[in-house]
Structure 1
Amino acid sequence: MKAKRTVNGRSKIKSGRSDQIIQVLIYCVVIGLCLVIILPCLNIAALSFNDGKDAAKGGIYFWPRIFTLDNYKQVFQDGAITKAYLITIARTVIGTAASLMVTSFAAYALKEKGLPGRKLLTILITFTMLFSGGMIPTYIQYNKLGLVDHFGVYVVPGLVSVTYLLMMRTFFESIPESLEESAKLDGCGYFGIFTRIVLPLSKPVIAVVGLYTAVNHWNDWFSGAFYMRSSRLWPVQTVLQQMLTRAMANKEITSVAQAIAQNTNSVTSDSLKMAAVVITTVPILCVYPFVQKYFTKGAMIGAVKE
């Protein structure tokens, strides 16, 4: 039996020894998982700030042995990387905002029980999660729509994700119908209810879906590599991916690779890769603190049925 104790006038159940052991084990597992995630990131950061030739000798773990910024200077040496960053930021901001708008509208419509053909629409939308046309038909379709070699290929195909659509619909359904009914009695239409009641109460799901969408846009290099005929609209991930590929495969293409071949620079392909990983990861990580308070509640959508 667990003994009861009173703290500040409140009765609490004292944990047994087995409960304390389980709690310690849970803490150990969580700490171990955090170390598994954090330590490789520290190693990557240390290698990115370390002299490339020195890092090739090994022994660099969580702190640079010979500090240098040459790896980052080489990455930003070409002006194309700055333009690529602007394109990446633009596609992330525009794509995320447009996706949230379209997805929230569609989710609110599917939430309404009076929508004609609601069940059929839900089945058809869910069906697209299971099957896709494939790469070649997708490219042909984008080409006929005029999206190939156009900025729109970064935004239009990702306007609606079925997973995020269903997440939003589930959250909207959890909002009490009495709030909408009272708003209708006050003369609010569907758009007024959506903007004045549903959206303000849906900050958790909007924050989570917005974060996931922004991360998808930021990390995407595939669209630029396959749907852009020229490099003028490449996002930063595609530019860095091409830079690393050339640096490792053809030493005559980039100034970085030439420096490595001539042994006149402290930058190596490995140190360049580490700097590229840091450059592409850190900016999007800065978004997490702003949505962290909504993340736990929003990520559990659909897990608990009230």
Structure 2
Amino acid sequence: MRVVKEFYKTTLGEKIFKVVIYLLITLLCLSIVLPFLNIFALSFNAGKDAERGGIYFWPRVWSLQNFAEVLTSANILTAFGISLFRTFVGTIASVFLTAMAAYTLKSKTMPGVRFFTLFIFFTMLFSGGIIPYYMLLKSVHLTNTIWVYVIPSLYSAWNLIIMRTFFQQIHVSLEESARIDGYNDFSIFMRIIMPLSKPVIAVIALFNAVGHWNDWFTGAFYVRSSDLRPLSTLLQEMLTRAEAMRSKLESAAGMSQYEVLEKMQVTGDSMKMATIIIVVAPIILIYPFIQKYFAQGVMIGSIKE
């Protein structure tokens, strides 16, 4: 009621502006929610029935066969464990080491701090390319090991700059008071800086976790052993095989599309939708618990005193 009363008290121009803003926000929300509802409907709908079309936001023929096909695949539990390991270990290690480096770079008295900052920023502009990167990983014996998922991604120049910017907003008097009490640099970092930096830690942790969980490229190009493939890579390979099998049936037997569907319980598209739900579900479940920190963290650097 209060919002409605304030709306009627505003001028005509302000009313038009608010209506336009609300319409744009509504359209933006619909553009995000409706595609996800369509993915949900197709993932829980029978694959053969989904090929007929006409499914938008609710399944027509409920079925768990798509998820059963994905989750009963060989090595699925191993791949899930690999994804959990790289996400958990990689995120914790990356956040902690990035925070230590950012705390060092925020110091104005450290010799060469400007040079190191520019050097780190330079790496955001240029890349050596995939082939030199692969040769580097191979030379340090990281290819075809589980640590290829963790060690190369420990540091991100962008995350480092974000953390350094946040640390610079913490008043220096807190550190000076701690030094008077006998704290050293590491004690100040652990007991003062880190507890006051929950928003930026939550943001960087979310970025790292999503990146690790969704990354399929590393497992596909830098790992040969099937026992070291993460969940995203394994699901990507399953989708490729499903599409290849369908094409093979069509070409080898000379069957029509509808005859192929009669022999297949699931389709590549239905498996794709189930795969999307499986991959994004953990992130959706975790996000509400860190949303308040994320909302604070996105304001990093917006206020300067």
* TM-score above 0.5: yes
Q: Structure 1 CA distance, aligned partners of 2:155 and 2:170?
A: 22
Partner of 2:196: 201
Q: Any gaps of 5 or more consecutive residues in structure 1?
A: 1-6, 8-13, 254-259
CA RMSD of aligned residues (A): 1.7
Partner of 2:131: 136
- What residue identity is the alignment partner of 1:42? L
Partner of 1:280: 279
Partner of 1:150: 145
| SS across alignment from 2:151 | coil
Q: Structure 2 CA distance, aligned partners of 1:98 and 1:128?
A: 21
How far apart are residue 17 of structure 1 and its match? Answer: 2.7
What TM-score, normalized by structure 1, do the two folds share? 0.91
How far apart are residue 263 of structure 1 and its match? Answer: 3.1
Matches within 5 A, 1:240-259: 240-251=235-246
Is 1:214 the counterpart of 2:209? The answer is yes
Instruction: Select the structure with the greater relative contact order (CA < 8 A; seq sep ≥ 6).
Output: 2
How far apart are residue 125 of structure 1 and its match? Answer: 0.8
Partner of 2:168: 173
Q: Structure 1 CA distance, aligned partners of 2:20 and 2:291?
A: 25
| SS across alignment from 1:263 | helix
Q: Tell me if the contact between 2:82 and 2:231 (Cα under 8 Å) persists in the aligned partners.
A: yes
How far apart are residue 32 of structure 1 and its match? Answer: 0.8
Matches within 5 A, 1:52-67: 52-67=47-62
Matched residue pairs, number? 288
Q: Structure 1 CA distance, aligned partners of 2:295 and 2:271?
A: 36
- What residue identity is the alignment partner of 1:60? I
Partner of 2:299: 300
| SS across alignment from 1:60 | coil
How far apart are residue 262 of structure 1 and its match? Answer: 7.9
Partner of 2:66: 71
Partner of 1:112: 107
How far apart are residue 250 of structure 1 and its match? Answer: 3.8
Q: Structure 1 CA distance, aligned partners of 2:110 and 2:289?
A: 35
Identity %: 52
Q: Any gaps of 5 or more consecutive residues in structure 2?
A: 3-8, 249-258
| SS across alignment from 2:233 | helix
Q: Over residues 232-281 of structure 1, what are the superposed CA-to-partner deviations in whole Å (9 max), with x where a residue is unaligned?
A: 1000110011111111124599xxxxxx9583443111111111111111
Q: Over residues 146-194 of structure 1, what are the superposed CA-to-partner deviations in whole Å (9 max), with x where a residue is unaligned?
A: 1000011100111010001000000000001111111111111111111
What TM-score, normalized by structure 2, do the two folds share? 0.91
Partner of 2:118: 123
